Chain A
Amino acid sequence: MVTAQSQPQSKETEQYNVIGTRPIRHDGVDKVTGAAQYGADLSLPGMLAGRVLRSPHAHARIVSIDTSKAEALDGVKAVITNADFPRAADAEIDTGEGTANLRWVLDNVIASDKVLYKGHAVAAVAATDHHIAEDALELIEVKYDVLTPVLDVRDAMVDGSPLLHDSLHTKELDGSTSDSASNTASHLQFTKGDTEDGFAEADVVIEREFETSMAHQGYIEPHNGTAYWRADGTLDIWTSTQGAFVVRDSVAPLLQLSPSQVKVTPMEIGGGFGGKIPVYLEPLAALLSQKTGRPVKLTMNREEVLLATGPTSGTYMRVRMGAKNDGTITAADVHLAFEAGAYPGSPVGAGAMCSLAPYDIANQKIDGYDVVVNKPKTAAYRAPGAPQAEFATESVLNELAEQIGQDPLEMRLKNASVEGNTTAAGMPFGVIGNVECMTAAQESPHWQSELEGPNRGRGVAQGFWFNIGFESSAYAQVNGDGTVPLVLGSTDIGGTRASIAMQLAETLGISSDDVHPHVVDTNSVGYTQVTGGSRTTFAGGWAAYECAMDIRKQMEQRAAQVWECEADDVTYGDDAIIRGPADEDGNDRQFTFKELAGQLATSGGHIVGRADVNKTSSGPAFATHIVDVEVDPDTGKVDILRYTAVQDAGTAIHPAYVEGQMQGGVAQGVGMALNEEYFYDDSGDLKNASLLDYRMPTALDLPMIEPIIVEVPNPGHPYGVRGVGEVPIIPPAPAVRAAIANAIGVHMTELPMSPRAILDATVLDED
């Protein structure tokens, strides 16, 4: 087997042949040679180039749109606005990580009566080339009645605030809706015990308020979408997406097509992190193609990506937490107000459910508010809602530990959720690795080391994410040479071709290199949910396991047929040897997998395995992170000196990719902690819509991030998988905040903790 690194398997994976090893990914050669096909690489005969006209205002009523001059420009083939779409029904559709109102989905794709954020799509053009399409945009005349924008979640919740939607009423806790229209779409609450009693028991109570900025997923590949509406009424779409079926099921109702008329081919994807789940360009490309009868390709530039896609919510949060002097947390009151962007649907619910999950706290009250503001509609972003909510709760917990004088990891261990505990949201924990992560962190060389030097500090934080299964399918066939092409519906973002193929190989007892995974279109594989929620290796691996078991059974039957014996007397061993009863002469009969594969064609035909699994079970993931920082007190700049990420992966199928996920999550979490923010002026104009001024960390801004994989296998999965992608983005911000406080004695209350924010809180603090 070709391996990236010849490292020994972990103790937990020694029992396996393939799981726990580090084979080179199946798509690796195409990726490094540039042969892999991304959406922007696509070229079809007669293809037109599209561009989107976007609103210059954050909040305005559209008075009129005149496209006649643009349509008259030589080379322009079609111009569309919202009015060209069929009227969308007032219905909920599945959008991959939740549901959304179809009318609002359409209005976000292309504005109808109002524009609700700067960059909101207003019209789209298809022309013979990109430059003509761009020229045509300047010829579209849109008259706006500019309205006052609402840019901050707290402003939006105030009575009398300008309203984004006249039809939006607050969904209250009792299920009723508010009488008057509001920017608050919903209020949710989770409670456990009685917080008043809990705070009365506490020796120390700390309350803090936090504000966090919107942050973008920051995938390097911009959105793209190509569509060809065929003469027979079927629609082909090629796009960069985390879920081809979700694109199909979103686009079809927007165009009033049956899903069976739409085929979506997922191209290779240059990052998604949740932001490549919603549709933006695909419906526009489809309608432009219908109008022109030609394929139409739309691509975004970086400015459009930042103006009009993603991000995750900006928030206002308030946390009150009480503890006894021995470190027992007695009560926690959490208030979360999340910006949904222009349409309802922030991840506040998930944030609320995660906020206190690592701890068994007797008395809890968690309130969440989903609030619309004149900013882009938020999309899922790696553990949606959890980085913000857990930033608030972990930060207050760290301050409590500091005030009580207890080691922050000891305090966490004292209150840690364990098997049998139930969260305030009613989620019971089975076998989890919460304590194991904390203990591994305590034992790590990093935690054991001394940190020396002025303006340096160390911080620690915990993180939790659910990881739920849902639907995945897999098909596999057995070739005559014993290789197994594996057909998947999950777009491969983080090495999931490899992690799923490895589970198929393990089950069949063959080499990972003999499995050839392929990601295919929606007509060529069974329904598969999005690549998201850290579900793909979990549910896709489960589908691969069942698919392999299907093949094993058929191989047993085939061997029985060849040997003319009962199938029940044939066993497929984990060593990929198919053994039957002794022949008439008393000789053992057996086939290797490859031997039998070579006889399939002549013994009755080839074998195809298949599986479709739909698992509502989860594999909760926990992480403990430790960070050392140095703060320049004169400039407010924070340098990350050392970082250790501990995480329970359940079973690490491919440890190198688990480590990659952990390191990537940390990089994004540090970005949110230190510099990533949406910078709006008072008119709602996003002033930093470029990767120059939207500051994600570069390679020079991070040290080598040391991963420590803990393996507490998930008993609810054939191979113990939990899912690993999301939880590592959660602990960085509160850990960095604690490290800054340890370094310079200042507890920051906002994200990002940029040099500007730190100067404002220190040398420039005028209060």
Chain B
Amino acid sequence: MQAVKYARAESVEDAVRLLQEGGDGARPLAGGTDVIVQARERTRDIDLFVDIKHIPEVVDIQHGADGSLTIGAATPCYQIYGDDTIAERFPILVDSCSLIGGTAIQGRASLGGNLCNSSPAADGIPSLIVLEAQVEIAGPNGRRTVAVEDFCTSPGRNVLGSGEFVVSLSFPAPAEGSGARFLRFIPRNEMDIAVTNAATQLRLNGDGSVAWARVAIGAVAPTPLLVSEAAEALVGQPLSEDSIAAAAAASRAAASPIDDMRGSIRQRVHLAGVLTERTIRQAAERAA
């Protein structure tokens, strides 16, 4: 591990200033479950950690009167899956947050960190995508908002500019009749990185037809993918074997994975279809 400096930010403005002063070697620190390991293994050049988890706005869970939700970027996973209202309205966040790392990691790891680490296999991002999350970014030029599916740009990279960091994630209220599910495939039952993962949110009309849907897949492309074609295969008709198979085929077609020690191309493409199908069925069960 390199020698690193540590600075604790007391406010969003404070953090922006520290990050700006720190330049390229500065890195926001939330739970540290990725960045500290990267510093120790020298896979990222880091000489300054700016600790953002003491800024109230960054570790907060806010439920809007309209059912919307805002989660501070550094809020640890255990607080997210331990929030009864989230469990009731956004159970897909419980799916993701209880799978990231293991129990000990979930005491520190956050959704914001999972997003900013920008791994193609991140277990948080597909859920954020199907929930239409908006990313609130603070930086030297003030604040801006980015749709989560546009946030990651390539493995380990994202749209954050110099001095910028993610403050929070906002979610619209889930509409009546909607349900969402995240699943990942790993060879073991715990402590692993997704070979492939997938999330689906859909809304059913009273007649059982699909009013709206969003499907996302991970670990099959340089970034987690929103698969519009999969959603289109579902919308406007009742769920059927044919429509689900068409959505799964759309996910397979969208997948362009690499071959590595975690999975082969053929395996990942196949699993993108399997998990798309399973998340659709289980999201529909939650919608019902």
Closest beta carbon of chain A to B45's beta carbon, Å:
13
Closest beta carbon of chain B to A536's beta carbon, Å:
32
Contact present for A688 and B261 (CB under 8 Å): yes
Kindly identify, within residues 180 to 230 of chain A, every residue whose CB is under 8 Å from any CB belonging to chain B: none
Kindly identify, within residues 229 to 288 of chain B, every residue whose CB is under 8 Å from any CB belonging to chain A: 260-264, 266-267, 270-271, 274
Bound complex: CA of A161 vs CA of B76, how far in Å?
Answer: 54
Chain A: interface residue total (CB-CB under 8 A): 26
Contact present for B262 and A759 (CB under 8 Å): no
Closest beta carbon of chain B to A690's beta carbon, Å:
10
Contact present for A756 and B264 (CB under 8 Å): yes
CB within 8 Å for A687 and B270 given contacts A692-B192, A755-B187: no
> Which of A134, A639, A692, A759 meets B191, CB within 8 Å?
A692
Contact present for A764 and B188 (CB under 8 Å): no
Any A CB within 8 A of the CB of B104 = no
Kindly identify, within residues 742 to 767 of chain A, every residue whose CB is under 8 Å from any CB belonging to chain B: 754-756, 759-760, 763-764
> Which of A634, A688, A700, A759 meets B188, CB within 8 Å?
A700
Contact present for A695 and B271 (CB under 8 Å): no
Kindly identify, within residues 635 to 692 of chain A, every residue whose CB is under 8 Å from any CB belonging to chain B: 635-637, 639, 674-675, 679, 687-688, 692
Any A CB within 8 A of the CB of B34 = no
| Interface range on chain B (Cβ under 8 Å from partner) | 20 to 34
Kindly identify, within residues 168 to 193 of chain B, every residue whose CB is under 8 Å from any CB belonging to chain A: 185, 187-193
Find chain B residues with CB under 8 A from A131 CB.
Answer: 1-3
Find chain B residues with CB under 8 A from A595 CB.
Answer: none
Find chain A residues with CB under 8 A from B270 CB.
Answer: 759, 763-764
Contact present for B187 and A754 (CB under 8 Å): yes
Contact present for B267 and A695 (CB under 8 Å): no
B40 and chain A: residue at smallest CB distance: A301
Contact present for A755 and B189 (CB under 8 Å): no
> Which of B2, B190, B263 meets A756, CB within 8 Å?
B263
Contact present for A687 and B260 (CB under 8 Å): yes
Contact present for A693 and B261 (CB under 8 Å): yes
Contact present for A759 and B3 (CB under 8 Å): no
Closest beta carbon of chain A to B255's beta carbon, Å:
14
Any B CB within 8 A of the CB of A159 = no
Find chain B residues with CB under 8 A from A637 CB.
Answer: 185, 187
CB within 8 Å for A675 and B187 given contacts A635-B274, A763-B270, A764-B267: yes
Closest beta carbon of chain B to A700's beta carbon, Å:
4
CB within 8 Å for A692 and B193 given contacts A131-B1, A635-B274, A759-B267: yes
Bound complex: CA of A475 vs CA of B88, how far in Å?
Answer: 67
Find chain B residues with CB under 8 A from A679 CB.
Answer: 261
Closest beta carbon of chain B to A744's beta carbon, Å:
16
Any B CB within 8 A of the CB of A410 = no
Any B CB within 8 A of the CB of A5 = no
Find chain B residues with CB under 8 A from A448 CB.
Answer: none
CB within 8 Å for A635 and B185 given contacts A692-B193, A764-B266: yes
Closest beta carbon of chain B to A63's beta carbon, Å:
26
Find chain B residues with CB under 8 A from A635 CB.
Answer: 185, 271, 274
Closest beta carbon of chain A to B3's beta carbon, Å:
7
Find chain A residues with CB under 8 A from B260 CB.
Answer: 687
Bound complex: CA of A687 vs CA of B271, how far in Å?
Answer: 22
Any B CB within 8 A of the CB of A616 = no
Contact present for A634 and B274 (CB under 8 Å): yes
Bound complex: CA of A695 vs CA of B192, how far in Å?
Answer: 8
Bound complex: CA of A665 vs CA of B195, how far in Å?
Answer: 28
Bound complex: CA of A418 vs CA of B263, how far in Å?
Answer: 46
Closest beta carbon of chain A to B189's beta carbon, Å:
4
Find chain A residues with CB under 8 A from B189 CB.
Answer: 639, 698, 700-701
Find chain B residues with CB under 8 A from A697 CB.
Answer: 188
CB within 8 Å for A755 and B267 given contacts A637-B187, A679-B261: yes
Closest beta carbon of chain A to B155's beta carbon, Å:
15
A635 and chain B: residue at smallest CB distance: B185
Find chain A residues with CB under 8 A from B271 CB.
Answer: 635
Closest beta carbon of chain A to B249's beta carbon, Å:
15
Closest beta carbon of chain B to A52's beta carbon, Å:
16
Find chain A residues with CB under 8 A from B261 CB.
Answer: 679, 687-688, 693
Bound complex: CA of A674 vs CA of B262, how far in Å?
Answer: 14
Find chain B residues with CB under 8 A from A688 CB.
Answer: 261
Closest beta carbon of chain B to A292's beta carbon, Å:
23
Find chain B residues with CB under 8 A from A675 CB.
Answer: 187-188
Bound complex: CA of A134 vs CA of B185, how far in Å?
Answer: 37
Closest beta carbon of chain A to B192's beta carbon, Å:
7
> Which of B3, B185, B187 meets A695, CB within 8 Å?
B187
Contact present for B267 and A756 (CB under 8 Å): yes
B262 and chain A: residue at smallest CB distance: A693
Bound complex: CA of A326 vs CA of B188, how far in Å?
Answer: 41
Find chain B residues with CB under 8 A from A695 CB.
Answer: 187-188, 192
Bound complex: CA of A635 vs CA of B274, how far in Å?
Answer: 8
Find chain A residues with CB under 8 A from B192 CB.
Answer: 692, 695
Closest beta carbon of chain A to B125's beta carbon, Å:
19
Kindly identify, within residues 1 to 31 of chain B, every residue whose CB is under 8 Å from any CB belonging to chain A: 1-3
Bound complex: CA of A692 vs CA of B271, how far in Å?
Answer: 20
Instruction: List 28 A-B residue pairs with CB atoms under 8 Å apart, sorted by A's residue number.
Output: A131-B2, A134-B1, A634-B274, A635-B271, A635-B274, A637-B185, A687-B261, A688-B261, A692-B191, A692-B193, A693-B193, A693-B261, A695-B192, A697-B188, A698-B189, A698-B191, A700-B188, A701-B188, A701-B189, A701-B190, A754-B187, A755-B187, A755-B195, A755-B267, A756-B263, A759-B270, A760-B267, A764-B267
The 8 closest A-B pairs by CB, nearest first: A679-B261, A700-B189, A687-B261, A688-B261, A700-B190, A634-B274, A756-B267, A698-B190
Q: A674-B187, A764-B270 are in contact. List 8 more A-B contacts (CB 8 A).
A: A131-B1, A134-B1, A636-B267, A692-B192, A698-B189, A756-B264, A763-B270, A764-B266
Interface residues of B (CB under 8 A from A): 1-3, 185, 187-193, 195, 260-264, 266-267, 270-271, 274
